[in-house]
Amino acid sequence: MTKPVAMAEVWRGDFLECVHRGHAVVCDTAGKIVQAWGNPDEIILPRSSCKMIQALPLVESGAADAFGLTTEQLALACASHQAAAVHTDRVGRWLDSLGLDDNALRCGPQMPRDEDEMTRLIRRAGTPCRYHNNCSGKHSGFLTLTRHLNGGPDYVEPEHPVQRAVREAFEDVTGMDSPGFGIDGCSAPNFATTVHGLARAMGFFAAAREGDSTLRSRAAARLVQAMTTFPELVAGEGRACTDLMRAMGGKVAVKTGAEGAFVAILPEQKLGVAVKIQDGATRAANLAITALLVHLGALDATHPAVSRWMQVRQQNYAGIDTGWLQPAAGFPA
């Protein structure tokens, strides 16, 4: 079995202090591996990096159109947002339009990552709600789909019609039967695949066009367009997903996931990318996807976003430069 390769290094002065290793695959739109690092057949849980796959049934079933969902709402269905007002206000209106409230969401309450919203809650001695959960947009999509399918309220159960539809879509676009699932942080099943399978799925999204003949392909194109049109809804200010999509002028969709997962959809290059950092470090996943986007010609190496995520100056609390977070020697090549 191919071992994970060094992708990110942390230097403190002249000393190599930390190395993050992982796996990455670049696929074409036919699912063929164009380039790979580490083990393409490594079984992984994509976590939130696969939210656009989980949103496919929402669109292709006709639920999105039946309930008049906007492009902003489709972006939120793919989001791991930080519960800023720009996110929670929209989720609240979405639930209202369904005649539902916070209690209908099956994701748990989560303290907002957005500093303004966190401060507001603390000052009023408030407690976070389910709509503050970073997955509340995805779950609003699940609620819309279960209403459309008359599937019942417990939409996160693995045998629920919503999750059966998600699994079918997931296995189709990854090109393999999933070996199983884990329960994600938001309580929904998260289906396992290989790094190659996840990259193959992103290649499918990269090939998708709104005029395509299949419902699934047209649904994929709409979701990519939603993500790239509203990058601020997919994550939020100061987040890698939002920053990188803006840096590439809306030409590429990217999505992070917990435990070191990250994907990219490159329609112009007709490529899909999947990254998994072995130790789960977010900083390394951010670096690896940025380095690969530069490597593939999708991101200008001189863009300021590169210094925010790929060549990152390390400072201590006194503001003294201590070293660098940078790509490991030979990655990517």
Contact present, 7 and 36 (Cβ < 8 Å): no
What's the average model confidence in pLDDT over 133-149? Answer: 98
Q: What is the spatial distance between Cα 110 and Cα 128, in angstroms, rounded to a whole number? A: 6
Residue 65: inside a domain: yes
Residue 232: inside a domain: yes
Contacts of 326 (CB under 8 A, 6+ apart): 8, 9, 11, 287, 310, 311, 312
State the residue range of the domain holding 270: 23-281
> Residue 199 maps to which CATH number?
3.40.710
Residue 68: inside a domain: yes
Give CA 310 to chain center in angstroms: 18
Mean pLDDT over the full length of the chain: 97
Q: What is the spatial distance between Cα 175 and Cα 216, in angstroms, rounded to a whole number? A: 14
Query: Which residue in 220, 156, 162 sits closest to 188, CA to CA?
Result: 156
Residue 307: inside a domain: no
pTM exceeds 0.95: yes
Task: Give me the number of domains the chain comprises.
Answer: 1
So what's the pLDDT on residue 209? Answer: 94
Residue 115: inside a domain: yes
Q: With cut-offs at 50, 70 and 90, classify the pLDDT of residue 333.
A: confident
Contact present, 178 and 45 (Cβ < 8 Å): no
Residues 274-300: tens digit of each pLDDT: 999 999 999 999 999 999 999 999 999
Q: With cut-offs at 50, 70 and 90, classify the pLDDT of residue 1.
A: low
- pLDDT of residue 305 exceeding 70, the answer is yes
Residues 47-60: tens digit of each pLDDT: 999 999 999 999 99
Residue 3: inside a domain: no
Residue 166: inside a domain: yes
Residue 267: inside a domain: yes
Contact present, 199 and 274 (Cβ < 8 Å): yes
